[in-house]
Chains A and B, each alone.
Chain A
């Protein structure tokens, strides 16, 4: 049971404005893309970020071999309890997820 990050080229995250977080999984090969597309359930991503899977937008993009998720930020950017101003660290949490 490998960590997601060991299967793919890169997992990155960033703010999409102050209220949304977006995470791009660059799979790097067709095989890795199909594995991530099929094995990484949106509900699993919701668990990782402690949110409701209904709030998550998912994009499976075969041309780029990318799986992308966008979700309401776990804390609004820069609000008192926010821990990551640019949203770039959150990728690690998903990258370490076992699939």
Chain B
């Protein structure tokens, strides 16, 4: 049996200390935690930085490093620093080094880097070693070569290689959410369908149980399946909460693609062991002939300036959509005349909060709001142009009348200056897989001794 302790759905979300201690007392074989996600958007991979505060990561990681020393088992983090780019891995290693110095014990750290060289990736595309997944954007070698960061998602094979170094701590760059949990059970010969399925159920911590905020869970893997147990007071897993977790953030609730094959849970049977634990058997791992890893890549989408105005006058609230359309038309003409920028050179949108900001043209409701927030979003090829367009928009946001006949209105601004400069913005450009001869071909493993 292999016992995996998962402290939380992600480092930075905190965990229940009492439940963690309960997990340590139960004798885990490994502590595994996810460090990232694409869920907060392309900026983190684009910039190669973490979403969470360094102070939070430092405190939570120090607690896990202490727990690891107590349990004398490996501690592994996947997708370090939110995005798993090499710069984020280095950031995590730096934090680990600081904590190790404070805790005063020598440590062996395996660092698995997932960053890909954009030029080499563009060459792989030219060579036909990259193929698209569903709804992949159209790309070409230039788009790939122009990415700010590209990472490959490591699977169980690369985590296994890192574990085989005998490291105390593994800091991995981008991995699949499941790989860090599945690796040790697979390495020790547990049921492969059960290993991947249990890893999927456990990757968000206690989201598969009641009291999902409590974080800490234990998953026991063996020759026929797995058993999941939430460890916090008042947290219970049931066949319903566990099986329902297969729906979460999954396009297909029965099939999960991973490097080297896919998990099929169509035949899985969920059984309550008691009021808290759930036993699962019958899931199947289907290996593939071809070893592929998914790629994530980001490129710059421009530089953004944002401004906010508020409409409260009933006449303008009622006419907000026409007012916004007229501003965009008139301001765009002025931008072309005075700055020489055509519509294709930049974007200018006014989103009306309280009217259609969430769904745009798909909105089906018409209401009677008394107030509308106007968010102007400008994206241009450089920050200076975005700022300049913001200034050109300013008189319209402040004073634009619905008709020429009426007195010049003045709208509410929250700030001076009203424009906020968001800086460089990024977009995801890859939904593709890279074909590999050997799983380690796209990854680099380094062992660091910390004294």
Q: Does B451 contact A (CB under 8 A)?
A: no
Closest to A90 in B: B359
User: Given the complex, which residues of B lie within 8 Å of A85, measured CB to CB?
Assistant: 40-41
Q: Does A35 contact B (CB under 8 A)?
A: no
The number of chain B residues with a CB under 8 A from chain A is: 43
Q: Are A57 and B358 in contact (CB under 8 A)?
A: no
Q: Does A63 contact B (CB under 8 A)?
A: yes
In the docked arrangement, what's the CA distance between A85 and B379, Å?
17
User: Given the complex, which residues of A lie within 8 Å of B361, measured CB to CB?
Assistant: 50
Set A22, A61, A64, A72: member contacting B135, Cβ < 8 A: A72
Q: Are B240 and A64 in contact (CB under 8 A)?
A: yes
| Number of A-B residue pairs with CB-CB distance less than 8 Å in the complex they form | 107
Q: Are B136 and A19 in contact (CB under 8 A)?
A: yes
User: Given the complex, which residues of B lie within 8 Å of A19, measured CB to CB?
Assistant: 133-137, 428, 431
Q: Are A49 and B365 in contact (CB under 8 A)?
A: no
A interface, over-half SS: loop
Q: Provided the pairs A83-B351, A83-B358 are in contact, do residues A70 and B41 lie with their beta carbons within 8 angstroms?
A: no
Q: Provided the pairs A18-B38, A93-B364 are in contact, do residues A76 and B252 lie with their beta carbons within 8 angstroms?
A: no
Q: Are A83 and B135 in contact (CB under 8 A)?
A: no
Q: Does A68 contact B (CB under 8 A)?
A: yes
Q: Does A66 contact B (CB under 8 A)?
A: yes
Q: Are B360 and A83 in contact (CB under 8 A)?
A: yes
Closest to A66 in B: B247
Q: Are A20 and B251 in contact (CB under 8 A)?
A: yes
User: Given the complex, which residues of B lie within 8 Å of A48, measured CB to CB?
Assistant: 362, 364
Interface of chain B residues 132 through 148 with chain A (CB within 8 A): 133-137
Q: Are B247 and A15 in contact (CB under 8 A)?
A: no
Query: In angstroms, how far is the closest chain B Cβ from the Cβ of A21?
Result: 9
Q: Are B243 and A20 in contact (CB under 8 A)?
A: no
Interface of chain B residues 391 through 432 with chain A (CB within 8 A): 425-428, 431
Q: Are A80 and B253 in contact (CB under 8 A)?
A: no
Query: In angstroms, how far is the closest chain B Cβ from the Cβ of A92?
Result: 7
Interface of chain A residues 10 through 57 with chain B (CB within 8 A): 14-20, 22, 24, 26, 48-50, 55, 57
Q: Are B364 and A17 in contact (CB under 8 A)?
A: no
User: Given the complex, which residues of B lie within 8 Å of A68, measured CB to CB?
Assistant: 247, 253
Query: In angstroms, how far is the closest chain B Cβ from the Cβ of A99?
Result: 14
Set A15, A49, A74, A89: member contacting B39, Cβ < 8 A: A15
Query: In angstroms, how far is the closest chain B Cβ from the Cβ of A56?
Result: 11
User: Given the complex, which residues of A lie within 8 Å of B362, measured CB to CB?
Assistant: 48-50, 74, 93
**7 further A-B pairs in the complex, CB-CB below 8 A; given A14-B248, A59-B252, A81-B347:** A15-B39, A22-B247, A55-B135, A64-B243, A72-B134, A83-B357, A85-B41
Q: A residues within 8 Å of B by Cβ?
A: 14-20, 22, 24, 26, 48-50, 55, 57, 59, 61, 63-64, 66, 68, 70, 72-74, 76-81, 83-86, 89-90, 92-93, 96
Q: B residues within 8 Å of A by Cβ?
A: 38-43, 133-137, 240, 243-244, 247-254, 301-302, 347, 349, 351, 357-365, 377, 379, 425-428, 431
Q: Give 6 closest A-B pairs by Cβ, nearest first.
A: A78-B41, A70-B251, A16-B251, A72-B135, A18-B428, A78-B42
Write 29 A-B pairs (CB below 8 A) sorted by A numbering: A14-B249, A16-B249, A16-B250, A18-B38, A18-B42, A18-B428, A19-B133, A19-B134, A19-B135, A19-B137, A19-B428, A19-B431, A50-B362, A61-B247, A63-B243, A64-B240, A64-B244, A68-B253, A73-B135, A76-B137, A76-B427, A77-B41, A77-B42, A78-B42, A78-B43, A80-B301, A80-B302, A83-B357, A93-B363
